[in-house]
Every structure is written in C-alpha cells, then in structure tokens.
Structure 1
Amino acid sequence: MKYYIKQQVFSWRDRFTVKDEKGKDVYFVEGELFSWGKKIDVADASGNVVLHIKQNLWNWLPNYTLFMHGHEVATVKKELSFLKPRYSIFGPDWEVEGNIWEHDYQIWENDALVATITKEWFTWGDSYELDIEDDSNMLLALGIIITIDCVIATQQAASSS
C-alpha cells in the first residue's frame, strides 16, 4: 500500500501528516520543541501515540531508538562511511539500500522488499511516497524513514551554518 508524507514548511518543530492513497490522514507526526536530543511521536487518527522515536545522546554518530506501545522495537544507527550514508538497523533484520541523500531507497529483509521510499520533487516542502509491501510493517518502516530523514536534515542544517 502507498502512503504519502508531506512535511510542513516553516514549522518550529517537526510536524507532518501521513496520508493513505485516498488522501485520508492516517498518522500525525510531531517532534518535541524543547528537549535534550530529538524526540518524535507518531499518533494514529484517534490521537493515540503508537510510535515514539528518541535520539540516544552521547554517541559519536547519530543513534535513535524506536518504541511501539512502550516497547523498544528497533535501534537505527548511522555508520561511519565516506562515500555514501549507511545505516544499521537493530531489532528487525532489515537493511537500507539505495540513494539515501536523494531520498530514493529501499528497506529489505533478506531478499524480500519491505518498503520503497521516493522523494517527490517540485513540491512545496518535502514530500515522500512510501510504498509498503506488507501493511503490518508500516509503523516500523515509517519510524525508520523518519529517523533517517531526521539525521539527514540535522547534517544539512549543520553544514549550512
């Protein structure tokens, strides 16, 4: 199933909506404005927080933990690499491949495709298409995608200052 992420431009904190193919709001994503490290909550259409992403401080490279319903389900770590960004995912046996800087990549589990992420160009704000092969992986895949986007945005902001 396909989902669409459209981030709001000029927001003081991370805030965006995830829509399904019919344009219906499925998830609401919001980051905490004042916190030590990045913290992001994903709520369902009823307002219940179903996914929490927390930056693990005091690491040399970016490192985030994902929680679903209060239980740790994955850790995403940026790896040291010189040519292209690499991420390790601990929890599920998933791998990220593709052009991460261009937001055109896939998440794989062994030889099975879990999700494809593509950036929609020429839109106001960042917009992404997320194609999930199995809907049961939606929340975790969404969390990993948000985490990778967070790392990229932080690095771009640091390099532009």
Structure 2
Amino acid sequence: MKLLFKQRMFSWFDSYDIYDENENTVYVVKGQLSWGHCLKIFDTEENELGTVKQEVLTWLPKFELYEGENYIGCLEKELGWFKPKYNIDFNGWHVEGDFPGWDYTITKPVGETVATVSKELLQWTDTYVLDIVDPADALHVLMFVLAIDAEKCSAK
C-alpha cells in the first residue's frame, strides 16, 4: 500500500493531507495549539483516529502516540553521528534513515520491513511517499512519519 503525505502550503498550524495511490484523500492531519507539536489525525468523515504529541521537557526529541484516547507508544530520537535513528516503543519497531535523513525504513525486531519512507525533493512543502507492507499498519506508520517530520521541523 502506498500513501502520499503532503503538507498544506498555507496554514497557521501544521496541516497535512494523506492520499492513497489513486489520489483519494485517506487522512487529514490538523495541528493544534500547544507546547510542542500536537497533531490530530482524522479520517475523511472527520472522525478522530489518533494523536501525535511532542513531549517538551526531554533531552532528545520524544513524541507520544495515541490511537483514539489510548496511549500506544512513543518515538524517541537516538544519538547518532551520521544517520538519524529513532526508537519506537511500539511492537519493537525501529527506524533508521539515510545520511541526509530524507529516506528511512521502519523495521520489526527481526529486521522485516514494515514500511519505507521517501521524501520527494523539489516540492514546495514537505512531501513523502509511504510504502507500507501491511495496510493494517497504515495509521501507525503515518503517526511515526508525522513525529519524525515534526522533529526535523523543530531541529531547524
């Protein structure tokens, strides 16, 4: 399953539209006013599906993830010299990126790929292609991509 993640050009808060392979909107992400990033994920009928919320008083960037009202895990950046790495407290998943940090892979503990993420260059806004192995993982992969994008935005 492939999803296209596009940031909206003109909005006061982070806002994204997520499209499927046929360019149909699948998810809408709306930023909330808060300390740190707080991103709410909605389906096309405006039902809230999840939240990505940045913890602000941490040494390294850390994001809590909620499916509905239920806490499901977190993403925390690891110290690294050349490649960005993130620990995911969810199903034992792990994220590792390439040198510039534009492309990365989410893997299971045994090394099996959950998803690959590629940033499209030369776009006006942040645009990523998410190639997800199991469509059941789409919402969770989207949450991690949102957290990583927010972390990169905060680092700038």
Q: Would you call these one fold, judging by a TM-score over 0.5?
A: yes
Q: Name the aligned partner's letter for residue 41 of structure 2.
A: V
| Equivalent position of 2:14 in the other structure | 14
The Cα of 1:102 is off from its aligned counterpart by 3.6
| Equivalent position of 1:55 in the other structure | 54
SS in 2 for 1:66: strand
| Equivalent position of 1:67 in the other structure | 66
Separation (CA, whole Å) in 2 of partners of 1:27 and 1:55: 20
Separation (CA, whole Å) in 2 of partners of 1:115 and 1:101: 18
SS in 1 for 2:139: helix
| Equivalent position of 2:118 in the other structure | 118
The Cα of 1:100 is off from its aligned counterpart by 6.6
Contact in 2 for aligned 1:101/1:152 (Cα 8 Å) = no
Separation (CA, whole Å) in 1 of partners of 2:142 and 2:35: 23
The Cα of 1:145 is off from its aligned counterpart by 0.7
Q: Name the aligned partner's letter for residue 144 of structure 1.
A: F
| Equivalent position of 2:88 in the other structure | 89
Gaps in structure 1 of 5+ consecutive residues:
157-161
Contact in 2 for aligned 1:28/1:42 (Cα 8 Å) = yes
| Equivalent position of 1:36 in the other structure | 35
Separation (CA, whole Å) in 1 of partners of 2:147 and 2:42: 16
**CA deviation string 1:40-93 (max 9, x = no partner):** 100011101101111112111111110002111111011222333221111221
**CA deviation string 1:18-41 (max 9, x = no partner):** 000000000000111x31221110
CA RMSD, 1 decimal: 1.4
Q: Name the aligned partner's letter for residue 121 of structure 1.
A: L
SS in 2 for 1:27: strand
Gaps in structure 2 of 5+ consecutive residues:
none
Change (3 A) 1:52 1:100: farther
SS in 2 for 1:58: coil
Percent of paired sites with the same residue: 35
| Equivalent position of 2:45 in the other structure | 46
SS in 2 for 1:154: helix
Separation (CA, whole Å) in 1 of partners of 2:40 and 2:122: 28
Change (3 A) 1:101 1:153: farther
Aligned length: 155
Separation (CA, whole Å) in 1 of partners of 2:113 and 2:127: 22
| Equivalent position of 1:80 in the other structure | 79
Separation (CA, whole Å) in 2 of partners of 1:93 and 1:100: 23
